[in-house]
Amino acid sequence: MTKITVKNNGSVRIEGDFMICDQDGREFGLGGRTAISLCRCGHSENKPFCDGSHKRVGFQSEVQARELPPPVMGAVDLRG
């Protein structure tokens, strides 16, 4: 099982069974980590991973879980 947690004012935390690949399908070597944080503020010097820069820049984004509408046939998925 994989758990993805969107942290308030911070990163996206991934825990469990996962792999992270670049757009060409090459897998990142994660050094045996079973949890890692991805940057969602855009300021990390180590993208796509969080390096704590969100605190320095005062990134603000608080989220709560919610229901998304059903996908529309032929439409592009919801993207940030």
**What is the rounded distance in angstroms from the CA atom of residue 17 to the CA atom of residue 35?**
9
User: Smallest distance, Å, CB 62 to ligand FES?
Assistant: 13
Q: Applying CB under 6 A, does 14 fall inside the site for ligand FES?
A: no
Q: Applying CB under 6 A, does 36 fall inside the site for ligand FES?
A: no
Kindly give, in sequence order, each residue whose CB lies less than 8 Å from that of residue 60, ignoring residues fewer than 6 positions away. Answer: 9
How many residues line the site for ligand FES (CB under 6 A)?
A: 12
**What is the rounded distance in angstroms from the CA atom of residue 7 to the CA atom of residue 26?**
27
User: Which residues form the interface with ligand FES (CB under 6 A)?
Assistant: 10-11, 39-41, 43-44, 50-54
